[in-house]
Amino acid sequence: MASASRYTLSESDDPIDYCYDQGWTDGLPVVPPTEKRVAAMLAATTIAPGTVIAKVAPSWANATVEKIAVNCVMAGCLPGHLPVVIAAVRAMTDPALNLNGMQCSTHLSTPLVLVNGPARLELGMNCGSNVFGQGNRANATIGRAVKLILTNIGRAIPGVTDKATLGHPGKYTYCIAENEEESPWDPLHVERGFKREQSTVTVFGCEAPHNVNNQASQNALDLSHTIADTMATLGKNMLYAQGEVMVVLCPSHAETIARDGWSKLHFKEYLYEKARKPVRLVKLGGLYGREVKRNFWPRWINRDDEDEMVPMVRRASEITVVVAGGTGRHTAFLPGWATPSVTVAIE
């Protein structure tokens, strides 16, 4: 397989500026990927450097282990982060995610990386306070490496192949871990058939987190109603194209819901039933305007009934629920791009 290209710089060349000149950055300075640094990164996996993990859209170029390692170095990753990034590349290039469409869309969604299992703790990932924010090397650099791979290998160049009208800050880095220790339910990877002692990566194409602020509700019904109402807005892809969404519950909200005897399935079913909009309001605008015949809704929806309540997703199972974050009573809703998330094991 083709190996990564080698470049020799003169003493007068600044390696960081050289990376800028070549278009290899996300706008922030990168760590120069010297052969020594790349070799140290590759020592974290037994997979041969020339092995092609996937082809990355929209260029459909080969993402070899070596090229993935180069981008991990530039992102500031430690060697132990490499297997997580390799797993993320496998997940985000699964056809179900439709990475090519997401990369080239005018929509602002971008792949979120979610880590489950023992790897979270081994790598010191943040699954608590400020989980979507700054301050943790593993979260920040794993997420950044994935974004650099999308740009440097996939060639999702802003304004050229990446046609996002606005984009969002997650295009720099978008990586969290589930707070399994404070969740009253099985974590996501166990829910999806993996063993608790396995480590996994889930990739989900989505918007930035939308805050759900509920400080007062002390029962599952009131709290879930607030979350459902936050979900049911006209400007989201899912109301028209359907597809998966994600709710990231803070531990306090999760505890409140579970204390009333609600399972994760009960919570999903409530959101499915209540996060809806009547056809008459859907016609006010959105993806297809007043033309509701084009919407990808379930066939049981009567498009001619102005009072018909349209769900945000086709079924309750398309509402993915994870627990993350720290002290406080804030939950996040992550609208999807219209394709499902993909979970793979970290090898």
Res 1: pLDDT: 47
Where does the pLDDT of residue 132 fall: very low under 50, low under 70, confident under 90, or very high at 90 and above?
Answer: very high
Cα–Cα distance measured from residue 249 to residue 331, given in angstroms and rounded to the nearest whole number: 5
pTM above 0.75, yes or no: yes
Res 291: pLDDT: 85
Cα–Cα distance measured from residue 113 to residue 117, given in angstroms and rounded to the nearest whole number: 14
Res 2: pLDDT: 59
Residue 149 placed within a domain: yes
Residue 304 placed within a domain: no
Residue 297 placed within a domain: no
Residue 6 placed within a domain: no
Average pLDDT, integer, range 212-232: 96
Where does the pLDDT of residue 287 fall: very low under 50, low under 70, confident under 90, or very high at 90 and above?
Answer: confident
The 10s digit of each residue's pLDDT in 67-106 is 999 999 999 999 999 999 999 999 999 999 999 999 999 9
Q: What are the C-alpha distances in Å from 292 to residues 105, 284, 305, 308? A: 22, 10, 11, 12
Residue 301 placed within a domain: no
Question: 253-290 burial, b if ≥16 CB within 10 A, otherwise e?
Answer: bbebbbeeebebebbbbbbbebbbbebebbbeebbeee
Average pLDDT, integer, range 323-340: 97
Average pLDDT, integer, range 228-254: 94
| Number of domains comprising the chain | 1
Residue 171 placed within a domain: yes
Residue 111 belongs to what domain range?
Answer: 15-275+312-345
How long a stretch of residues is the chain?
347
Average pLDDT, the chain: 96
Residue 137 placed within a domain: yes
Res 310: pLDDT: 95
Residue 282 placed within a domain: no
Cα–Cα distance measured from residue 203 to residue 187, given in angstroms and rounded to the nearest whole number: 15
Where does the pLDDT of residue 239 fall: very low under 50, low under 70, confident under 90, or very high at 90 and above?
Answer: confident
Q: Cβ contacts of residue 84 below 8 Å, gap of 6+?
A: 113, 115, 119, 123, 142, 201, 346
